[in-house]
Amino acid sequence: MECSIIIIETNIRTYINTLKIERNLTDKSTKAYYSDLSSFLLWLKENNVNTVDINTINSYINWLQNSKQMKDTSIKRKYVTLKSFFKYLINKKIIDNSPFENMRISFKTTKRLPKTLSSQDIMKLLRASMEELKDMRTEFRKTICIRNSAIIELLYCVGIRIGELVNIELKDLDIEEQTLLIHGKGRKDRLLYISSEDVIEILKTWLFHRESLNPNCEALFINKYGDKLSIYSIEDIYEKYRQLAGLDAKSTPHYLRHTFATQLLNNGADIRAVQEILGHSSITTTQIYTEVSTERKKQVLLKFNARNLLKI
């Protein structure tokens, strides 16, 4: 059976539900799949395409590249989504052949090095909230400042994503054992150790003051109304202290994660261990940090480069 536009339209929802159940994907991931498939369906309708074959896919890719001028990374994602969807249709015996069977497309992917902060910048950032605390006059403002300090400290100390931070609940933090359970991407949990005694003390202080905000939920970090903080709130908090510390205006909370990972590698950490700590499903994702991990390269070249020994 050929793949018609009707088959595509009637099976998108079923496919998305399958992703949720069988592959246990997050809502964010399934929304991305749905968006890609819906965009393709809309393009088919606008161009009066009734049957999808290899030429249809090629035309769609060309349209994304030339008319929409999308980045290769975005086009590759849509390509992978469509290929996966048609594979699903074949497995369910809804169609006989996939238009991707004889298709070979290579995408150029630009390697983007992770942006990091210097040790001096990290110190400025961590001190910014402490300095602000000295100027706070009311207990409420002190509580908010303590919370903000705990957030910045935790992001840097364990290198978690801000999406992971907002989902931490009280039960995930074990102060005595100094452990933190993180609910990562793809619903993969990992247990991290909070190695800094200073960070543990800040968290203890925050937990004591947290009750004064009359919590309505079990989230570790809450807003002034007692509700769970949003990702946007974390971004605003970081932006506030970024400005107070006088850091690069382009830096984001994710710079703390990049810095954390790079410094681990600089200090001799095993890359597999760093992969587990960061929650990367593939070592390839972690390896990007070796590109900016200059300290180890410096030590190797200082110690082993034969040119250092030549006296001309």
Say what the pLDDT of residue 198 is.
95
Q: What is the DSSP letter of 198?
A: H
The answer to the question of residue 78 being in a domain is yes
Indicate if 65 and 178 belong to the same structural domain: no
183: annotated active-site residue: no
Indicate if 208 and 128 belong to the same structural domain: yes
Question: Predicted confidence band at 10 (pLDDT cuts at 50, 70, 90)?
Answer: very high
Question: Predicted confidence band at 98 (pLDDT cuts at 50, 70, 90)?
Answer: confident
Active-site residue, selected from the candidate residues 210, 242, 257, 258: 257
| Cβ atoms 112, 19 nearer than 8 A | no
Active-site residue, selected from the candidate residues 83, 127, 185, 190: 185
Indicate if 147 and 241 belong to the same structural domain: yes
The answer to the question of residue 306 being in a domain is no
- Indicate which CATH number applies to the domain containing 35: 1.10.150.130
185: annotated active-site residue: yes
79: annotated active-site residue: no
| Cβ atoms 262, 292 nearer than 8 A | yes
The answer to the question of residue 57 being in a domain is yes
161: annotated active-site residue: yes
The answer to the question of residue 311 being in a domain is no
**What Cα–Cα distance (Å) separates residue 35 from each residue in 28, 81, 86, 311?**
11, 10, 16, 64
Indicate if 213 and 126 belong to the same structural domain: yes
pTM of the predicted model, to two decimals?
0.69
93: annotated active-site residue: no
Query: If you average pLDDT over every residue of the chain, what do you get?
Result: 90
The answer to the question of residue 110 being in a domain is no
Indicate if 61 and 136 belong to the same structural domain: no
- pLDDT tens for each residue of 236-277: 999 999 999 999 999 999 999 999 999 999 888 999 999 999
Say what the pLDDT of residue 204 is.
97
Question: Predicted confidence band at 153 (pLDDT cuts at 50, 70, 90)?
Answer: very high
Q: Over pLDDT 70: what percentage of the chain?
A: 97
pLDDT at 65 over 80: yes
Say what the pLDDT of residue 123 is.
96
Per-residue b/e over 155-194, b at no fewer than 16 CB within 10 Å? Answer: bbbbbbbbebbbbbeeebbeeeebebebbbeeeeeeebeb
Indicate if 78 and 129 belong to the same structural domain: no
Domain hosting 55: range is 3-91
- Count the domains in the chain: 2
The answer to the question of residue 308 being in a domain is no
> Which amino acid, residue 272?
R
257: annotated active-site residue: yes
H or E element that contains 15: helix 5-22
The answer to the question of residue 287 being in a domain is yes
Length of the chain: 312
